[in-house]
Chains A and B, each alone.
Chain A
Amino acid sequence: MSTRDTRPGSAGGADVPGPLHGGPDDEYTPEQLATLSREDLDRLGARYDGVEILHVDPGPEPGSPVEKRAVRQVGWSFTIAGLASLAFVVIYVGSGWFLPDWHWEIDDHGWSALFTPLLGALMGLALIMVGVGLVLYTKNLLPHETAVQDKHDASYFDRVTAAATLVGGLEKSGLKRRKLITRSLAFMGGGLGLMLIMPLGGLIKNPNKGNPLGTTPWGEGVRLVRDDGTPIRPGDQQPGSLETVFPAVPGGNSVHHADAATMLIRLRPEQLEADRPRPGQEDFGYGDYVAYSKICTHAGCPVSLYEQETSRILCPCHQSQFDVTQGAKPVFGPATRALPQLPITVDDEGFFVARSDYIEAVGPTYWNRERI
C-alpha cells in the first residue's frame, strides 16, 4: 500500500488510520501480545469488556475417577440420544414397510395405537438426553469460574455530546423557523396516516341494516324439521320430551343460520297445568307443545340439558337455568333474559309450522337490542 496516491480522483492523502483510531491496538503491539499466554489474553480481553474473573474452579483433575465418571455420564447421555433418534427414524420410515402400518384403526390397540406414543417417547428421550448431557458437561466437566462484570451508569459526557449533535442538526434544518414546512408536514402526516388505514374500511359492515341480528329464517308457515329434514306431527313426541328443530329452509341447520336452532318441548300434563307463559305470548304454544330458542340469551351457547322433573333447561357453558313452565325465564346463573318463544301451530297436512319469526332477537344481548 503506497502512502501517496496521485492518480486522478484519488484523495491523494496518506491512507492510514487517523489519530482518533486508537484503542487497544495502540497499547499492545502484536509482539507484546505474542508473549502472553492464551489465558492471559482471555483475561486481558475480558478486562476490556469490564469483566474480572475472580475465581476459577478448574473442574475435575484429568484422569481422576471423578472425571472418568462425569465423562461416562455425558458420553452415555449422547449415545442414548443418538440411539433414540435412530429408533425414531426407523419407526417413522419403517411402519407400513417392514413394520406394521401406522394408520389408526378404531378397534386396533396394537401397533397403530403405539405409533404416535413411540414417536413422542423417542423424540422426547433423544432431545432430553442431549440436554441432560450438555448440562452434565457444563456442571461436572467445565471449569467453574466466577466472573464480575461492571454495570455502567449513564454517561453525562455522552448525553451532552449526543444532545449537541441532535439539537444542532435540528437547528440547522431551520424547521423551527420554517413554519410552512412543519405545518404542511403535520398536515401531510395526518392525511397519509388516514389514507393508509382507510382500506380497513372494507371490514366494516352495518349491523343495523336489515336487522340481521334480530331475524332468523323462521317465518309464517315455515315447517319445524328435525336435523335430518323430516317434519314433525303433534303425536310424534312423548310428553316430557325435547327435540331440537330447525326451519325447513335451505341451510336451516348450518353455520349460515346459527341462530335458528329451536327446542320443541312437549309438556307433561302437570307441567302444562303449571305453565305460565310470558304476558302476550299465551297463545304461542300449540296444545301441550311449546317452542323456545335453543340459543342461550347469555353467551349464545346451545342450551341443551333438559331436566324434565324440574322443568329446567341448563346451559352447559355458564350454567344459566331456564324454567320452561314460566316462559323459559332464567331462574339461576348469569343469563338475564328469557329464551325467546317461537309461535307455532299446525299446517293443513298436520305438521308443525311457525306462525311467524321470533318476535324478539334471539341469542346474546347487545347494546341496541331493545331498539330494533
Chain B
Amino acid sequence: MARTATAPGAPTSKLGKVALELDDRLIVAGPLRRTLNKVFPDHWSFLLGEIALYSFIVLLLSGTYLTFFFDASMREVVYDGSYAPLRGVKMSAAYDSTLGLSFDVRGGLFMRQLHHWAALLFVASIVVHLLRIFFTGAFRRPRETNWIIGVVMLVLALLMGVTGYSLPDDLLSGTGLRIISAILLSVPVIGTWAHFAVFNGDYVGEQIIGRFYIVHVLLLPAILLALIAVHLLILVKQKHTQFPGPGRTEHNVVGNRLFPTFAGKATGLLLVVFGVCAALGGLVQINPVWLWGPYNPAQVSAASQPDWYIGFLDGSTRIFPAWDLNLPGDYTIPALFWPTVVVAGAMFTVLALYPMIERKLTGDTASHHLLQRPRDVPVRTSLGAMGLTFYLWLMAAGGNDVIADKFDISLNAMTWVGRIGVVILPPIVYVITYRICLGLQKHDREVLEHGIETGVIRRLPHGEFIEVHQPLGPVDEHGHGTLAYGGAPVPKRMNQVGGARRAVRGFFRPIEEPAQVELEERHDQHGLAAAEADRELTSAGRPSEGGRPQEPRH
C-alpha cells in the first residue's frame, strides 16, 4: 500500500495533488466518475422540468432578498414614503413595506417583479413539463411514484402562488383573500371550524398575513425542496426515459455523458432562465400594487383576476349555476363548494391517479423506458386533449368579464357560453384529437409502404400521370416498402433523407470548402446513398439531426 513519489500516475500538477489529498480523505473518485459518466438522453422536451427547477432556484434567491424588507404584519400604519399619491393613507404594515420595497429600496422593485415573474414561469414550466410526461407516457411503470410527487408539487406550487400574492395586502390580493375565506367557509361540516383555525376568527382579523407569510417562506418551500430532492433522486436512480431510435432499447440510455456536454447545456439553460426572469422583472411591469391601493373590505376593482394558474378556479366559480344544496335539518352545502373545492380536488386526484387508471384500463403492467409518440396512443392523447380543453376553457371563463367588455358582448351571454362550452367542448375535442391521431398513424404507415412524395409528376406512355415516390428502404416485388414502424418519427420530406445536401456554413462568405462538405457527407454516410443502404431507416432518425445516434456501420 505504500505510495512512492514515482508511482505511475502520481499527480504532478498542483490541482492533481489537491485532488489526491481530497480523495485520500473522502474516497470520492469512484462515485465522482460514476456521476460524470452518467448518460442523459438529449431532447428539447426533457429540458422543461429543468426550467421548473431553475425558476425555483431563482425564486429562493429573490424571495430571500425580499424578506429582508418585507414586514408581514397587519398593524395599521400611515404611509409616509416616496410614492406621493398614497402619502397619509392608512394601510397595513405589509402593504406599507411592499411600497417601501418598491419605491425606497434601491433595485427593490426590480427584485419584487423578478420574483413574481419567476413564480409565473415556475408554475407554467411545471404544467408544460407535466403535459410532456403525460402525452409521451413517461409516467408509466416504474415512474408512477415520480408522477404523483410531481402532481403534489404542482399543487404546492399553486399554494405557494396563492400565499405569495396575498402577502402585499393590496386591494387585489385582499379580494383574493376574501374569496379564499368564502371557499373555506363553504366546506360542509368543518368549513367554519377550518376558517376560524386559519384566520383566527371571522374574516379578516389581524393574523392571516403573518400566517400566510410563514407558510410561504418556510413550510411550503421546505416541503417543495424535500420533494424536489426525492423527485431527482428517483429520476437518477431509474434513469431518464428516451424516445425510440436506433440502438435505443428498454435496457439502455443513449445520449450524452453528464460531463461535459450535459453539464454545459444545463448550466447554460439555468443562466438563460435566470436571465429571462431578470429581463422580465425589469422590463415588464407586473402587479403594480401601488395602483390597486391598500386593502379595504368595502372596495373592489373591476376585472379582479388572480394570477393565471388560479384562473381556472375563478372561471369554474363564475360559470357554476346558483345551486345551494339544502339538506334536512337546515344544513346547507353552498354553491361555491362545488366549483372550487370539488372541481380542484377532483381534477388533481384524477391527475395523480391517472397512471393507475391507465394501467387498470389497458392491463399494461410492464416497465417502460421508451417513450411513446402521442399519435400512437390515441385514447390517452385524446383524454389529455379533453382535460386540457376543460382546463383552458375554465381559465378563459375566468376572464369572461374582460372578454365581454373588450368585444362588447353581453356579460350574461359570456357566462352562458362558458357554461355550455365546458360541457360540450371537451367531448368534441376528444373526437377530433382521436381522428387526428389515427390520420397521422395512417400517414406514417403509408409513407413506410409507398415512400415519400417527391412532388415529381411523371406521365406514363399510356397517358396516366403518377407521382414518383421515394421508398425509404428496400421494396418487395410489388414495390411496397418492407420497413416496420418502430415508434420513431418517419421522414416525410426528401430533405430529411438527404435529398438536399447540407448547406455550406458561413453568413457573409463561406467558411468551409464545398468539396469538404461533400467529403464529410460521404464520410458520415449522410444523404441518399447512405439512406438506401439503411435497412431500418425509420429508426435511423432524421439525417438532419446528424442521424445520431447511429449503429456502428462497417
Residues of chain A within 8 A (CB-CB) of B552 are: 54-55
Residues of chain A within 8 A (CB-CB) of B85 are: 106
Classify chain A's interface size: 35 or more
State the CA gap A69–B512 with chains docked (Å). Answer: 11
**Cβ–Cβ contact A131 & B272, under 8 A:** yes
**Cβ–Cβ contact B254 & A146, under 8 A:** yes
**Cβ–Cβ contact B8 & A135, under 8 A:** no
**Cβ–Cβ contact A316 & B302, under 8 A:** yes
Please judge, given known A-B contacts A138-B264, A259-B202, A316-B304, whether A127 and B7 are in contact too, CB under 8 Å: no
**Cβ–Cβ contact B239 & A49, under 8 A:** no
Contact of B143 with A by CB under 8 A: no
Please judge, given known A-B contacts A65-B511, A207-B196, whether A299 and B336 are in contact too, CB under 8 Å: yes
Q: Please give the number of chain B residues whose Cβ is less than 8 angstroms from any Cβ of chain A in the complex.
A: 125
Please judge, given known A-B contacts A30-B8, A46-B257, A305-B302, whether A148 and B252 are in contact too, CB under 8 Å: yes
**Cβ–Cβ contact A118 & B274, under 8 A:** no
State the CA gap A46–B257 with chains docked (Å). Answer: 10
- Which of A164-172, A176-184, A233-241, A326-334 lines the interface with chain B? A326-334
Please judge, given known A-B contacts A131-B269, A300-B203, whether A336 and B255 are in contact too, CB under 8 Å: no
**Cβ–Cβ contact A366 & B196, under 8 A:** no
Do most interface residues of chain B lie in helix, strand or loop, or is the interface mixed? Answer: mixed
Please judge, given known A-B contacts A55-B552, A364-B336, whether A336 and B322 are in contact too, CB under 8 Å: yes
State the CA gap A317–B334 with chains docked (Å). Answer: 17
Contact of A45 with B by CB under 8 A: yes
Report B256-292 residues with CB < 8 Å from chain A CB.
256-257, 260-261, 264-265, 267-283
Contact with B along A145-175 (1 / 0, CB 8 A): 1111111010000000000000000000000
Residues of chain A within 8 A (CB-CB) of B522 are: none
Q: Shortest distance in angstroms between A201's beta carbon and chain B's nearest beta carbon? A: 10
**Cβ–Cβ contact B7 & A30, under 8 A:** yes
Please judge, given known A-B contacts A128-B276, A255-B295, whether A332 and B415 are in contact too, CB under 8 Å: yes
- Which of B13-21, B128-136, B186-194, B480-488 lines the interface with chain A? B186-194
Which one of A102, A118, A148 lies within 8 Å of B39 (CB-CB)? A148
**Cβ–Cβ contact A138 & B265, under 8 A:** yes
Contact of B363 with A by CB under 8 A: no
Residues of chain B within 8 A (CB-CB) of A130 are: 268, 271, 275
Contact of B69 with A by CB under 8 A: no
**Cβ–Cβ contact A146 & B550, under 8 A:** yes
Point out which of B178, B269, B505 has the most chain A C-beta atoms below 10 A from its C-beta. Answer: B178
Report A333-372 residues with CB < 8 Å from chain B CB.
333-337, 363-371
Please judge, given known A-B contacts A124-B275, A336-B334, whether A147 and B255 are in contact too, CB under 8 Å: yes
State the CA gap A314–B247 with chains docked (Å). Answer: 64
Q: Shortest distance in angstroms between A326's beta carbon and chain B's nearest beta carbon? A: 15
Report B14-34 residues with CB < 8 Å from chain A CB.
33-34
Residues of chain B within 8 A (CB-CB) of A148 are: 39, 247, 252-254, 549
Q: Shortest distance in angstroms between B300's beta carbon and chain A's nearest beta carbon? A: 5
Contact of B458 with A by CB under 8 A: no
Contact of A246 with B by CB under 8 A: yes
Give 19 new A-B contacts, CB below 8 A, not counting A258-B202, A302-B300, A371-B331: A49-B33, A66-B512, A117-B282, A120-B282, A124-B278, A130-B275, A148-B247, A205-B196, A227-B298, A253-B296, A259-B202, A298-B335, A300-B182, A333-B318, A334-B319, A334-B320, A337-B324, A367-B192, A370-B331
Complex A-B: 5 CB contacts under 8 Å: A121-B279, A131-B272, A205-B200, A317-B304, A319-B415
Chain B interface residues toward A at CB < 8 A: 1-2, 7-9, 33-34, 37-39, 74, 76, 82-85, 92, 103-104, 106-107, 109-110, 113-114, 175, 178-179, 181-183, 185-189, 191-193, 195-198, 200-206, 239, 247, 250-257, 260-261, 264-265, 267-283, 295-304, 314, 317-324, 326, 329-336, 339, 369, 400-401, 411-412, 415, 505-506, 511-512, 546, 548-550, 552
